Every structure is written in C-alpha cells, then in structure tokens.
C-alpha cells in the first residue's frame, strides 16, 4: 500500500504538515474491500481561516514573481508526477476504486493540464485600447484575483483538483483546496505534496480536509477568496452559487450532467456501440459527462441493442487491482444503494432490464434498461453509476427534442455517416459541449469546458481559465492636459 496514506494524512497549511484540531476524524476507506487507508483529524473553522490568511500573505510576492520563474514550478511538478506514476496509480486504485484503465486515463489528463499550466504563466496578457480623448492611453491589465478556493469531487479527484489549482497558481493566485471527504489524499494532500516538492513557496497552496458538519459555509463565506471553483452535484452547486452571489464572489461551477449519445440511422453501428459502452461505463459511470441515455433511431434499434448488450456483458466487474477489471466499485454504500433504488424504480415504471447487474457491497455490475415511459423522471436525472438507458426515436427532430428534455446541458455525442449532418444536429442541442462521431467523455486543456442549464456556470481550460482566475484592471494615462468643464 502506498505510503501516501500514512505520510499525507494531515492538513497542509502555511507550508506545514500538521494534524487538524477538530474533535473527530475523517476515515478514508478503500471502497472495494473496506480497508481503512487513513484517519485524518478534521480542520476547524479556525484552520480554514489560517489557510486563507496564509494564501493571501504568500500571494502578493508570488504575483510579483517573474512569470518565467513561476513557470519552472509547473515544469518540475510535471516531472514529479511522471516519476511517481506507479505510486499515484496505486493510490487512485485504492482510494477511488478506480481501475488501472481509469488511473491511466486520469494521470494522462493530469499531465496534459500541467503542461498547459506551464504556458498559462505567460498568458495573462494586457491590452492597449484606443480612446476618444486626445492624448489618452487606455491600458487594460490582466491581474490575479488574489486567492481562489477550490472544492474538488471524488470521481476524478487528482485531475479535477489540479485542473483548478494549477492554472490558478500559474496565473499568480494563492489557493486553498478542500478535497472531497472520500478522496482526501488523492484529491488533496497528494496535490500539495507534489507542489511542495516542486518548489512552490510555502503558504501559496493550502489543503484543508474537513466536512461541512464542522465548518458549515465558512470555506465559502470567508472574505479572502474572490473566486470559488466548485466541481460536484447541481444540488450543492446551487447552494455554492447562492452563497457566492451574496458575498459578491465569482463562482465557477462544474456540475452534473445527463448526457445523451445519439445514433442516427446512417451511423457505423459497431463503432457507435464501442463509443456508447465506453461513454456510459468508464469509471463505473461516475463521470459527469457519461452517457446516461443512449438514443437510437428505431430503424436500427434491434441491431444496435443486440450488439450493445453483448458488449456490456463482456465487461469484467471486480477487484480494481486486477488489470483486466473494467468495472470497479462505486465510491460508497450510499451511492450503491441509490443506484439499486433507481433500477428498481425504473422496472416498477415498466422498464425492461436487458442486463441486470448484481450489487455486492459497493460493487455494482452493469445494468441496461429499455422501455422507460417518456415521462419517467429517471430519464431526466443524473445516474452516477453503471446503468444505461436505451431510448428509441423516430427521426432527427424527435431525437433533438428528447436530448434537450433534461434540466442538464453538459456534454453529448451524435453518430452519423455525414459529418456536417452531425454538426447541424449538435448545434440544436442545449449543451456546452457536443461531439460528432465520438464518445461523450472528453476534456482537452486548450478548449473551454463547461455546461449550460443545471450543468454549471462558467468555463475552465484555455482562454476561459484566464477569465476565471484573473480580473481586468483599467489604468489610463493622460498625455498632456485634460479639459475639465468647471
């Protein structure tokens, strides 16, 4: 077992590793076998304050540091991840129940985002804007917001912590990170350790491992952070947005999804099956972009369904440490119970289970459902697990209507032999991201990532992340004398 779970089971505040001073511990369990990985005494409201104060103190000097010097920290962090990949892989498998495939996918993306952050240090460019006033020069500077609070989820904790932490730091900010209680090491203290070893000045990045039962809204309401970057459920996201709005903070919200993968009648069926199975079952379906719904033109429904079901039945569920395992455990028993209830509700509503996977502790085997009534709530909610809903449609117009009949608008995909037909289809979907002849699960560092409707507010990645973690400052210079009317 990785030493991370003994060495890093602490808070990281103002450049120091120390235990929390709360009255109880967060117990970190392996979701597959229930092994206790770590016990971490939680951070209190006072320690959240200490973390934000430390970030604010360190940030001023960091922002004034030459951008090329800042860049070196991220270059070293990337090398550290590359050198420690076997240990990080082991930690992802143990703490998340992620398979070898999932760990490799997460680490690949994490390294790509770090490579992008190396360049982000140089991306906060200013502008000179013409003035209607003679002799006036308008300068618009891009400056760091100051301190960013980051709340990361349990499904891709290493990647999704880095995805906000690294660019926020690269652009000159200080950061306080609160990882999910189920993934405090991979999503929190491991990130801090990598940056500490990469030479990041103490105090700039702080990690508080805690729970709202202890701190309430203190992480959100603290006066120091100007931006809160939250990734998680839309229910919690609504609360984060409300608190941030009342405090005049900027909220970047990457929330849930109910993505659809659409197979038109002219699609390559075998290829569409591969894309759909991956899009639904990657990391046990615990992905915000996962294809909850697989929509198939009725003219090819029988062939597609037969091939889809056959492929799903080949997915090996079990111990994520086994390299052959495709479906590992979901994160905890609450999630496993919720998935069982969802399947039972769907069947009670009239759905047919073409594949009905068993649930053993946190291991939920794949399920495929069809025949859900059009008004079923299940078709409009996020199912965070290995349950696929097959939905037939008659023609493109009906497919567009069904896809958009959702409170979410994150990702999606369409399969067709005609690329421009696919692009035309994608333009009609109320989603932040849509893919033609591919899966629904994509994230690329240069491309704006985010959703519409209940899937969030704001964007990350590329130019969008510069907008997220900097602000604009107008400084005008009057050459010569200005005229004042009195």
Taking only Cα atoms into account, the Rg of the chain, rounded to an integer number of angstroms, comes to: 24
* 261's tokens: 């993968």
* Per annotation, catalytic residue among 47, 106, 254, 301: 254
* 233's tokens: 């459920």
Count CB atoms within 10 A of the CB of residue 138: 14
d(CA 197, CA 212): 30
- 232 neighbors 255 (Cβ within 8 angstroms): yes
Burial of 480 (0-12, 13-18, 19+ CB in 10 A): exposed
Q: What are phi and psi of 18, to 5 degrees?
A: -155, 155
Grouping H, G, I as helix, E, B as strand and the rest as coil, residue 482 is coil
Grouping H, G, I as helix, E, B as strand and the rest as coil, residue 283 is helix
For strand 25-29 and strand 36-41, is the pairing parallel, antiparallel, or unpaired? Answer: antiparallel
Count CB atoms within 10 A of the CB of residue 209: 30
* Per annotation, catalytic residue among 116, 196, 288, 382: 288
Grouping H, G, I as helix, E, B as strand and the rest as coil, residue 74 is helix
Helices (DSSP H) in 133-289: which residue ranges?
157-170, 190-197, 212-215, 218-221, 234-246, 269-281
Q: How far is CA 452 from CA 251, 396, 431, in A?
A: 14, 22, 5
- 8 neighbors 88 (Cβ within 8 angstroms): no
d(CA 34, CA 328): 13
> Is residue 254 annotated as a catalytic residue, yes or no?
yes
- 77 neighbors 114 (Cβ within 8 angstroms): yes
d(CA 147, CA 169): 9
The DSSP bridge partners found for residue 259 are 291
DSSP 8-class letter at 454: T
> Is residue 288 annotated as a catalytic residue, yes or no?
yes
- Vertex 251, ends 28 and 120: CA angle to 5°? 85
d(CA 208, CA 47): 8
- 12 neighbors 50 (Cβ within 8 angstroms): no
Please identify every residue annotated as catalytic: 254, 288
């Amino acid at each position: 077992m990785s030493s991370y779970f003994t060495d890093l089971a602490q808070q990281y505040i103002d450049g120091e590793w120390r235990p929390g001073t709360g009255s109880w511990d967060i117990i970190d369990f392996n979701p597959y076998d229930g092994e206790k990985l770590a016990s971490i005494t939680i951070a209190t409201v006072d320690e959240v304050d200490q973390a934000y104060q430390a970030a604010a103190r360190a940030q001023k000097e960091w922002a004034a540091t030459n951008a090329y010097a800042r860049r070196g920290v991220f270059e070293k962090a990337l090398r550290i991840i590359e050198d420690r990949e076997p240990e990080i892989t082991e930690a992802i498998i143990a703490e998340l129940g992620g398979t070898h495939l999932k760990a490799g996918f997460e680490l690949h993306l994490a390294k790509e985002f770090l490579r992008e952050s190396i360049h982000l240090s140089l991306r906060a460019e200013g502008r000179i804007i013409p003035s209607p006033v003679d002799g006036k020069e308008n300068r618009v500077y891009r400056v760091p917001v100051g301190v960013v609070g980051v709340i990361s989820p349990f499904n891709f904790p290493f990647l999704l912590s880095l995805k906000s932490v690294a660019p926020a730091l690269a652009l000159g900010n200080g950061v306080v990170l609160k990882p999910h209680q189920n993934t405090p090491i991979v999503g929190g203290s491991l990130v801090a350790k990598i940056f500490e070893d990469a030479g990041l000045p103490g105090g700039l990045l702080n990690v508080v491992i805690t729970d709202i039962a202890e701190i309430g809204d203190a992480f959100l309401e603290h006066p120091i952070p100007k931006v809160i970057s939250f990734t998680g459920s839309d229910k919690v996201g609504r609360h984060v947005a409300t608190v941030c709005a009342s405090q005049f903070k900027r909220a970047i919200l990457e929330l849930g999804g109910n993505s659809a993968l659409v197979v038109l009648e002219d699609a390559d069926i075998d290829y569409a099956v591969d894309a759909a199975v991956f899009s639904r079952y990657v990391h046990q379906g615990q992905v915000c972009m996962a294809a909850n719904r697989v929509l198939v033109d009725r003219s090819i429904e029988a062939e597609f369904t037969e091939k889809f079901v056959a492929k799903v039945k080949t997915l090996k569920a079990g111990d994520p440490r086994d390299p052959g395992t495709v479906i590992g455990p979901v994160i905890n028993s609450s999630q496993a119970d919720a998935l069982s209830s969802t399947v039972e509700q769907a069947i009670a509503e009239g759905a047919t289970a073409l594949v009905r996977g068993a649930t053993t502790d946190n291991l939920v085997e794949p399920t495929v459902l069809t025949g859900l009534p059009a008004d079923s709530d299940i078709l409009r909610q996020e199912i965070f697990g290995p349950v696929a809903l097959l939905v037939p449609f008659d023609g493109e117009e009906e497919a567009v209507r069904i896809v958009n009949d959702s409170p979410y608008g994150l990702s999606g995909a369409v399969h067709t032999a005609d690329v421009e037909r696919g692009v035309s289809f994608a333009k009609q979907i109320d989603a932040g991201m849509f893919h033609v002849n591919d899966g629904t699960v994509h994230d690329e560092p240069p491309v704006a990532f985010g959703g519409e409707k209940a899937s969030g507010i704001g964007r990350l990645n590329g130019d969008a992340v510069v907008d997220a973690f900097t602000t604009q400052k107008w400084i005008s210079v009057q050459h010569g004398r200005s005229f004042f009317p009195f």
